[in-house]
Amino acid sequence: MLKRTPFRLAATFTALFATTVIVLFAILYFGISASLGSQIRIRAQETLDALVAVDRQKGFDDLAAVVNSESDSIRDADFIFELVDENGQHVAGNARGIKQSGTWLTLERDDIQPDWDNGEPDDRFHAIWQDVSKGRLLVGSSDRELRRTQRFLLEVLGIGLVSTLLLGGLCGAFLAARTQHRIDAFAKTLSAVSAGQIAARVPMTESGDDIDHVGAQVNQTLDHLQKLIENVNQSSSDIAHDLKKPVGRLRQRLDIAGRSAKTPAEFRAAIEAALSDLDATIETFDALLRITQIEAGARKARFANIDLGSVLDDVADIYEAVAEDAGHTLAWTTGTYKPAIVRGDRELLLQLFANLIENAIRHCPPGTHIGLTLREEPDAFKAEVFDDGPGIPQHEREKVFRRLYRLERARTTPGSGLGLTLAAAVAELHGARIELGDKAPGLNVAISFPKANTST
């Protein structure tokens, strides 16, 4: 338990709250004590001033009479008085033998030799001497009120501290248990993933706090990991399936050439056909490696601010003639008249749009119109490549982004089935969203790129 972070946090915050309570009570305690102590001295000084006025107006003997009267009237010993003559002999008052001083004195009960039995054993008095006409007069005021207030404050502090520790401990234990439960959910999910349950995810709450934020990031990472694993598994299956035919065809041609070729020309033709099959196989592996590198994000180090419009200009210039040679038309239009700045790798973006246009040229019948557009949206630049060809059925639009996946009608055309996979990988690397839509007839491929920050 002591090693668990939630418990340590709960204990730390409980100690912090307790310390705060102690500090606040200490400030209150010493502040009230100082204020009450000041009031006690003021009260004693005012009483002393009144008696000194009696001495000045009526004389020393009347002062002694008043002091004795005041001493007899004090029932709880709130005040002490001592009047001494010029020789220091006691003349009047309810206290005796108090040492004389020119400053304030704090006197215990044993220091004043009281003439009464009431009061409390721990009584203390704040007292001061002053000269009068024929001697000196001392007046002191009890600090009983101060001590009662201090005891009350200490009792309140004890109750408050115990309540704070109890409440803080309960709240801390609740929060620690709640946090530990959520941490355990992370650990359980990661353990399940380690055990092969790749679909396991961290459960989310409705609070939207920082733990949920971390959970969402973990789930995004697991989604990406699951996607990579599924791609690897699918790629392994697709590679085995798609490369089996060219490798088998290659072996068959070499076997036939070895057994049947009668002239160097026939043997050379068989070798050239085999090399053609090998080139296609190598091209497929190169494309797979390129996709893997793109998905790993290694090219992000080369990112810079790029005008997407100029990229589409270059692609249109290159493929306009290629489309015409294949019996198609390619039209490029833009709906934005200012630079469409995005953050990315120019070479990869050229490859992205080249793949999309090549797919349209390769898989559409002659006479197809191919369009390339760019327009600005509030937070993005949206590029579209569309055609009025046969399109892609709704139920297969997600599948075409898989490695080596090809539509049934496309299996007789050249290609590896990696064009759209590469396009999707480049789009994801650039933080863009790629969507396939129905052009009715034809296919519309829309890619939305986030705008680059050009303020710096």
Q: Where are the domains of the chain?
A: 5-147, 212-296, 301-450
Average of pLDDT values for 197-223? 82
Cβ burial of 338 (10 Å; 0-12, 13-18, 19+) is: exposed
Is the pLDDT at 192 greater than 80, yes or no?
yes
Lowest mean pLDDT, pick from 230-239, 329-338, 339-348, 373-382:
230-239
pLDDT at 456: 53
Average of pLDDT values for 261-280? 74
Most confident range, picked from 168-182, 300-314, 406-420: 300-314
CA distance 384 to 357: 11
Lowest mean pLDDT, pick from 1-15, 196-210, 296-310:
1-15
On whether the CB atoms of residues 355 and 312 are closer than 8 A, the answer is no
The band of 261, judged by pLDDT with boundaries at 50, 70 and 90, is low
More confident residue, 145 or 257: 145
pTM score above 0.85 = no
Q: Report which residue type is found at 54.
A: V
On whether the CB atoms of residues 152 and 80 are closer than 8 A, the answer is no
CA distance 150 to 33: 7
Is the pLDDT at 414 greater than 60, yes or no?
no
CA distance 313 to 333: 9
pLDDT at 45: 92
Is the pLDDT at 203 greater than 70, yes or no?
yes
Is the pLDDT at 409 greater than 60, yes or no?
no
Look-up: residue for tokens 């994000």? 297
pLDDT at 439: 84
pLDDT at 370: 93
Sheet containing 369-376: order of strands: 329-334, 369-376, 380-387, 443-450, 433-438
CA distance 189 to 200: 6
- Do you know the residue count of the chain? 456
Average of pLDDT values for 263-273? 76
pLDDT at 385: 92
- Sorted by sequence, the CB contacts under 8 Å of residue 58 that are 6+ apart come out as none
DSSP 74: -
Longest dimension (CA), the chain: 157
Within 59-142, where are the H helices?
A: 60-73
CATH class for the domain made up of 5-147: alpha beta
Q: Quick one: which of 275, 286, 282 has its CA closest to 250?
A: 275
CATH for the stretch 301-450: 3.30.565.10
pLDDT at 290: 67
How confident is the model over 304-342, as pLDDT tens digits? 899 999 999 999 999 999 999 989 999 998 876 788 899
How confident is the model over 435-446, as pLDDT tens digits? 888 888 889 999
pLDDT at 455: 65
CA distances, 270 to each of 54, 246, 247, 250 (Å): 140, 14, 14, 9
pLDDT at 307: 92
Tokens, residue 226: 């699951």
Average of pLDDT values for 109-133? 81
Average of pLDDT values for 289-293? 66
Q: What percent of the chain has pLDDT over 70?
A: 83
Q: What is the residue-averaged pLDDT of the chain?
A: 81
CA distances, 404 to each of 279, 291, 294, 429 (Å): 16, 12, 16, 20
The band of 404, judged by pLDDT with boundaries at 50, 70 and 90, is low
Average of pLDDT values for 366-391? 90
Is the pLDDT at 136 greater than 90, yes or no?
yes
The band of 174, judged by pLDDT with boundaries at 50, 70 and 90, is confident
For every residue of 271-295, DSSP letters joined together read: HHHHHHHHHHHHHHHHHHHHHHHHH
